[in-house]
Amino acid sequence: MKKIIVGNLKANMNMDKVGDYIYTMNNSINSDNEVVICPSYIYIPFFTNENFNVGSQNVSIYDNGAFTGEVSAEQLKSARVKYVIVGHSERRKYFHENERVMNIKIRKCLDNELIPIVCIGETKEERIEFKTKQVLRMDLLEILKDLDRDKIKDLIIAYEPIWAIGTGIVPSPKEIDDIALFIKDIVKSAYKINVKVLYGGSINTTNIDKFKLLNDIDGFLVGGASNNPNEFVQIINEI
């Protein structure tokens, strides 16, 4: 099965680096897996028509209209965006996005044939208190509440433990596989569909070989390491 490797560039990269980044990605990727790059909105048009897909890091809860500073799902679709990261923990922390907002954003994506990459993950405290599965289940059911089963068959869930993001600390491969299966089971019993699950959090060139063969992980969401095109290509080519 093809894996999906997504680079979340976050609010990094300036205009003078875009050309080099794309050049390296175009000339060095040697993989049958699907590669998706999620740059800041302003760079999205540069990332289309290349040998990878382009995704967005966010989408508005509003449709086209008088919403200064927003970017709608319809606009993303018209810019040939294929995937949208929804509810990244940084958006939840700094922009107070909650499950209800995520649910609306997913609906906007689905109405515009964009594939949402829905982020969930526990905090360090929740992990220490053995609440990981409880938190993930509650979050997931709230986020996916009353969605149209026929539309969500392509939906992707990204398991990103908050304590693993940007810290260099990762769960064990067994833990990750166990959580991925847990997530798949929840979605399967609620919606009777097989959802794809990605892992994200401190993936880099030195630890990817431990994770790349996990049974229930369908790909990776890479943050920091995707900012350096050489490093990101190394990860992609290793998988």
Which residues are marked as active site? 88, 160
Task: Report in angstroms how near the CB of residue 90 gets to ligand 13P at its nearest.
Answer: 7
Instruction: Show Cβ contacts of residue 121 under 8 Å, excluding neighbours closer than 6 positions.
Output: 89, 136, 159, 160, 161, 162, 164, 165, 201
Q: Give the phi and the psi of residue 48 in degrees, each rounded to 5.
A: -95, 165
Q: Give the phi and the psi of residue 143 in degrees, each rounded to 5.
A: -65, -40
In the complex with ligand 13P, the residue whose CB is nearer, 201 or 219, is: 201
Task: Report in angstroms how near the CB of residue 225 gets to ligand 13P at its nearest.
Answer: 6
Contact by Cβ (8 Å): 89, 118 = no
- Tell whether residue 9 is a contact of ligand 13P (CB under 6 A): no
Q: How far is C-alpha 224 from the geometric centre of its chain's CA atoms?
A: 13
Of 182, 192, 234, the closest CA to residue 209 belongs to 234
**What tokens were used for 12?**
């990094």
Instruction: Show Cβ contacts of residue 224 under 8 Å, excluding neighbours closer than 6 positions.
Output: 166, 202, 204
Torsion angle of C-alpha atoms 24, 25, 26, 32, degrees rounded to 10: 140
Task: Report in angstroms how near the CB of residue 88 gets to ligand 13P at its nearest.
Answer: 6
Indicate the DSSP class of residue 180: H
Task: Report in angstroms how near the CB of residue 220 gets to ligand 13P at its nearest.
Answer: 9
**68-107 positions binding ligand 13P, by CB under 6 A:** 88
- Tell whether residue 224 is a contact of ligand 13P (CB under 6 A): yes
In the complex with ligand 13P, the residue whose CB is nearer, 227 or 237, is: 227
Contact code string over 123-162 relative to ligand 13P, x by CB under 6 A? -------------------------------------x--
In the complex with ligand 13P, the residue whose CB is nearer, 140 or 165, is: 165
- Tell whether residue 229 is a contact of ligand 13P (CB under 6 A): no
Task: Report in angstroms how near the CB of residue 4 gets to ligand 13P at its nearest.
Answer: 13
**166-205 positions binding ligand 13P, by CB under 6 A:** 166, 200-203
In the complex with ligand 13P, the residue whose CB is nearer, 200 or 219, is: 200
- Residues within the interface to ligand 13P (CB under 6 A): 8, 88, 160, 165-166, 200-203, 221-225
